[in-house]
């Protein structure tokens, strides 16, 4: 059976960087869309665009293409976005799939869920770059793509783009907790992901906020979109089916 997937990228990415994973899903017979969110498009004003703008852009994409029964997948920061989308258009969705992604409570910002040293670093970078934030290569290499060799880590890093910091500091507004949504929910946990320290883990700290959910685990880093896209595509199929 062919299912419809919408893959929502994380911070610093565009839809282009997740196409390799989308191709793995397409090879399995599924229809896959990879939109680029407001704030990460060429020419977007990183100083002004906030979380609501990013959520609006994803809602608009799904509505304009009249997509239904969607498996909506969010990676990392993309978890904030798919949570906001589900709050708005749950009737168009079949299942939410979080890939080492943030699962917010009402009134919570992404920065509320990360270690204080990340917040201090992002504050300083954004303050010097018109409220756009980038990720230092040293952190990218060791914590985000630790399962790749140096050449792949550098090539992937060169594709990233400055990210609007307001999407990290804006507080999301949800009409009800995600656990109360009448949708299937899954969490993909990449076991070597150290983008969040293992003392402050993605799973179960954030995943359990989904209430009843399916857990899928696989070996790999935070950036399997680059380092092992076929294996990540397999995990998404396991998370998204039925």
Q: For residue range 71-85, list pLDDT tens digits in order.
A: 999 999 999 999 999
| Distance between CA atoms of residues 160 and 66, nearest Å | 30
What does the pLDDT read at residue 78? 99
Residue 136 has a CB neighbour count (10 Å cut-off) of 10
Q: Assign a CATH topology to domain 4-240.
A: Rossmann fold (3.40.50)
Whether 101 and 190 have beta carbons less than 8 Å apart is answered as no
What 3-state DSSP class applies to 215?
strand
- Does 204 sit behind a cis peptide bond, omega within 30 degrees of 0 on the bond before it? yes
pLDDT tens digits for 171-213?
A: 999 999 999 999 999 999 999 999 999 999 999 999 999 999 9
- In this prediction the pTM is 0.98
- The residues spanned by each domain of the chain are 4-240
Question: Which residues does the chain have with pLDDT short of 50?
Answer: none
The answer to whether 216 and 238 have CB atoms below 8 angstroms apart is yes
Q: In the prediction, which pLDDT does 1 show?
A: 80
Sheet order of strands, 4-8 included: 31-33, 4-8, 70-75, 93-99, 184-190, 214-218
Are the C-beta atoms of 100 and 75 separated by less than 8 Å? yes
């Amino acid at each position: 059976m062919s299912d419809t997937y919408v893959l929502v990228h994380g911070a610093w990415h565009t839809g282009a960087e997740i196409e390799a994973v989308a191709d793995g899903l397409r090879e399995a017979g599924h229809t896959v869309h990879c939109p680029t969110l407001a704030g990460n498009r060429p020419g977007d004003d990183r100083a002004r665009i906030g979380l609501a703008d990013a959520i609006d852009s994803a809602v608009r994409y799904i509505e304009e293409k009249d997509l239904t029964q969607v498996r909506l997948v969010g990676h990392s920061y993309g978890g904030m976005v798919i949570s906001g989308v589900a709050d708005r258009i749950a009737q168009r969705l079949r299942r939410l799939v979080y890939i080492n992604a943030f699962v917010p409570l009402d009134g919570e910002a992404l920065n509320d869920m990360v270690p204080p040293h990340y917040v201090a670093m992002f504050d300083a970078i954004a303050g010097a770059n018109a409220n756009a934030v980038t990720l230092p290569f040293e952190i990218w290499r060791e914590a985000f793509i630790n399962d790749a060799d140096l050449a792949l880590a550098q090539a992937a890093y060169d594709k990233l783009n400055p990210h609007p910091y307001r999407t990290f500091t804006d507080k999301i507004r949800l009409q009800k907790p995600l656990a109360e949504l009448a949708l299937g929910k899954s969490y993909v946990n990449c076991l070597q992901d150290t983008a969040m320290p293992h003392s402050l883990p993605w799973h179960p700290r954030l995943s359990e906020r989904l209430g009843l959910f399916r857990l899928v685990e696989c070996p790999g880093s935070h950036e399997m979109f680059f380092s092992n896209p076929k294996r990540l595509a397999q995990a998404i199929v396991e998370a998204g089916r039925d």
